[in-house]
Amino acid sequence: MDIIRTDCLVIGAGLAGSAYALHAARAGLDVQLLSLGGPCEANSDWAQGGIIYDTSIQLDLLAVDIMAASDGTANPIAVEQLVREGPVAVRELLLDELNVEFDRQKGGELEFTREGGHSKRRIIHAKDLTGHAILSSVAACVDATQRITRQTGSVAIDLLTLSHNTDRPADRYAPLTCFGAYVLMEDSSEPVAVVARKTVLATGGLGQIFQHSTNRPGAIGHGVAMAYRVGARLIDLEYVQFHPTVFYGKNAPRFLITEALRGEGALLINGLGENFIDAVHPRGSLASRDIVSRAIHQEMVASGEPCVYLDPGALEPDFIRERFPFIYRRCLEHGVDISHEPIPVVPAAHYSCGGVHTDLEGRSNVRHLNAIGETACTGLHGANRLAGTSLLECLAGARFTAIADIRDIGETE
C-alpha cells in the first residue's frame, strides 16, 4: 500500500476545511486537503442568506439571540467565544485580505440584513449567493498557497488509529490515537494510507439521510460515522434543524428560499392568504427556525394542504430581482414569478446541530483527531441554530483549531 505523509490531513474542503488549510499552511505545515468534488462543491457554497458580522459594542445581544434560538440549550462558553472572536475572523480573512464582494450601500458601507431569531440587522451578504462568494474566494486563495495539496475526487474510507493498526498487542491499551486515514484517490483502484500528525474532519452534515433536504448530495454524515467507528464521542445527533422555507413544487427539486426574504419583509401565509404565524410568536415570520418550521407543519396538518406560501408582496419587484437574483431565477424556472406571486414552501432538513464532540479548539476525545464546521459539536447551537452562525462557525472554528494544532506540532519538534 502506498503511503503519503503530511502534517495535517483535512477531510472535506468546504469553508471550514479550506480555512483550516490556509491557517496551517501559512504557519509552515504541509496539508493534504481532500474532497470528493471540486473546490466549490460543498454545502458552504449553497449558503444564501449571509454571515453575522456584529461589530457593535452590545455583543451580549447576539449571545442572547443565540441562546434564545437554542431554547436555552447552547453551551455558554462556545457562544461567548464565537461572539467575541467571530468579527475578527470575518474582518481579517474575508474583508481585509480577500475583499469578498459583500453588498454595500451607496456610500460604500456594508449592507446588513436581518433573519429569523435576530433582534437586529447584523448579517452581511452577497445578494443571495453569500456562500458562493465566500467559498470561491477562499478556494482561490487555497489554490495559490504553497504547502496545500488539493486532492479532488478523493474519498476517506476509514481513520487510521494506533489500536486498530498495530502489530504490538500492548498498543491496544494505549490512549485512542488517530494518525491519518485510508483514502481512495481519484483514478485509483487501491486505497492509500495518508499518515498525518493531525487529522481534521470537515465533512459537513447529514441532511441527505432525510427525504427532503437543503443539503448537497453526499451529505450523509460519513465523517461522523468514521469518527464513531474509532471511538470518538458523538453528541446531540437528535438535534437536526429543519429550515422553514424550501421551494415546493410537483416534480421540482427542493431548494432553499433564504430567510433573508422574510428579513426584508416577506410574510408567511396559508392557502387562504391568511397570516397564520403572527399568532404563534411575537416575531411572526421572523421567529427562530424551529418555531416557524413547527408552525408551518401544524398549519399543513390542520389545512390538509401540501405547503404554505411565502408572500413577498410588500417588496418592490425591482428590489426582489436585484437583491435575490438566484432565487428569482430558480423559482421562475419552475413557474413561479416571485416578483408578484407567493412562493410555495415547506420545511426540510437543513443543519445538524450535533456531531463529533469537541472542545473549543476542535479536539475530540481521540488524540490528534479534530472536527470542525458542521461535523463538529461544541454545543454552540444547542438544539437549534441561529441563522447566520454556520459560515461564521466554519471560519472561527477553523482558526481556533489551526492555531492549537500549529502550537501542538511546534511543541513536539
Set 122, 289, 330, 363: catalytic member: 289
3-class secondary structure, 68: helix
In sign, the C-alpha dihedral spanning 263, 265, 266, 267 is positive
Q: Which three cell numbers stand for residue 325?
A: 437574483
* CA 413 – CA 408 distance, rounded (Å): 9
Q: What is the largest CA-CA distance in the chain?
A: 71
In the block, residue with C-alpha cell 505523509 = 5
Query: 117 - beta bridge partners?
Result: none
Question: Is the separation of the CB atoms in 180 and 366 below 8 Å?
Answer: no
In sign, the C-alpha dihedral spanning 243, 247, 250, 252 is negative
- DSSP E strands in 175-266: the ranges are 178-184, 192-201, 234-235, 240-247
* CA 348 – CA 227 distance, rounded (Å): 26
Active site includes 385? no
Question: Is the separation of the CB atoms in 15 and 135 below 8 Å?
Answer: yes
Q: Which three cell numbers stand for residue 254?
A: 427542493
CA dihedral 292, 294, 297, 299 (to 10 degrees): -70
What is the b/e burial string over 277-286, where b = at least 16 CB atoms within 10 angstroms of the residue's CB? beebeebbbb
| DSSP class of 175 | P
End-to-end Cα, the chain, rounded Å: 28
What is the b/e burial string over 94-132, where b = at least 16 CB atoms within 10 angstroms of the residue's CB? beeebebebbeeeeeeebbbbbbbbeeebbbbbbbbbbb
Cβ neighbors of 306 (< 8 A, separation 6 or more) are 248, 300, 346
Determine the residue type at 138.
Answer: V
The set of catalytic residues is 289
